[in-house]
Amino acid sequence: MFVLPLLAFVSVSFVLPIFDMLFRSVDNPVVSTYLPKTIEQLTLWKGKELPKEEVFETLARELLIAKKNRTIGKVAARLNFETSGMRSAINKTVRKIKKYKGNRYKQALIKFDKRWGETNTWETIKRIGDRYTGVQYLAALDLKMGPEGKIIPQPEDRQIYVKIFLRTLWISLVVTLTCLLLAFPVSYLLATLPLRISNILMVMVLLPFWTSLLVRTTSWIVLLQRNGVVNDIIVWLGIIDDGSRIQMVYNQTGTLVAMTQILLPFMILPLYSVMKTISPSYMKAARSLGASPLRAFVRVYVPQTVPGIGAGCLLVFILSIGYYITPALVGGQSGQLISNFIAYHMKSSLNWGLAAALGTILLFAVLSLYWLYNKIVGIDNMKLG
């Protein structure tokens, strides 16, 4: 009974959204809902030549119905995600078909827009007409379904998501390693200093948690911009002249610096909690047996901190791989992560299927890395305290 409220909360706030994301990544209701008769007729179409006159007429009538019901925008947008230019083709056709009085729709539609005379256009409509499809996963991997059902790469100017995934993994890895290098000496200092002093330093480590994430991120804009504090100090020290100020914000540098500072406490706390339990007698015993201070530290002390290193690295890496606010504010074009593109498709382009596919791929990438970590290090060796 004590566990049931937590189970219900986790199910509603975590499990159900994941299943909803998985469903949306393959759910494709727009075209099949608003052009049902056209899709039904296209199921009999072989694709070697243009569809028959009846298909053109059905499409024209259903486009007019969609225009009347104000759903034509959804149809045009969904098809335009697959084939660039379909939005303009549909809007132009709807405007002209309203005034058309004849009954030769095939000839009329091709005259209105030449795309209706291409089999690729009808193959796109037929393919997107399936209610459940994996085309969003192909788009998320910079692929698409070509003629005769073959999977082909997207045009070079539309190949962005694989690069963004690799950039996200790279930045997350660099942030994790940087946090480890910075946190290890700080944690060692906290664990070995007298309790009164270490408590004061621990308050300084925890102080960023009491400051808004938005405030901390925007403060880095003030510090790192070309006329900011960091550049002013470098110029004052004579390292560079005033005309050679460094651009350290709205790029990957800004993302790396800001994310490292924000996520550093998540590395310090697990390391400190493990180091605090390591008895100083181990180092004294190693030195009494003839080891130098450096050798005793590397061979005796560091191996005992591996559980804290594993916990801190895993925590920081998973947090950084899904980070959104900081790259959005200080990352610019070259510092955006995959989470920013997921948010863009959710809020701006309204392509929720592609956003869900990107999120699903990211989820399984994290699970794969978690599985690899378990194989190499072992989850049982990880300690948070």
Is the pLDDT assigned to residue 256 strictly greater than 90? yes
3-class SS shares of the chain: helix, strand, coil, % to 5: 75, 0, 25
Taking Cα atoms as reference points, which of 352, 349, 325, 353 lies closest to residue 339? 325
Q: Give the model's confidence band at 144: pLDDT under 50 very low, under 70 low, under 90 confident, else very high.
A: confident
pLDDT, one tens digit per residue, over 19-61 is 999 999 999 899 999 999 999 999 888 878 899 999 999 999 9
* Predicted confidence band of residue 99 (pLDDT cuts 50, 70, 90): confident
Model pLDDT, residue 62: 93
Counting Cβ atoms within 10 Å, is residue 32 exposed (0-12), middle (13-18) or buried (19+)?
middle
The residues of the chain that CATH labels 1.10.3720.10 are 161-381
Using pLDDT thresholds of 50, 70 and 90, give the confidence band for residue 335: confident
* Structural contact between residues 337 and 161, judged by C-beta atoms closer than 8 angstroms: no
Asked if residue 381 has pLDDT above 70, the reply is no
Report whether pLDDT(265) > 70.
yes
Q: Does pLDDT of 198 surpass 60?
A: yes
Domain 161-381: give its CATH superfamily. Answer: MetI-like (1.10.3720.10)
Among 39-53, 139-153, 163-177, 324-338, which is the least confidently predicted range?
A: 139-153
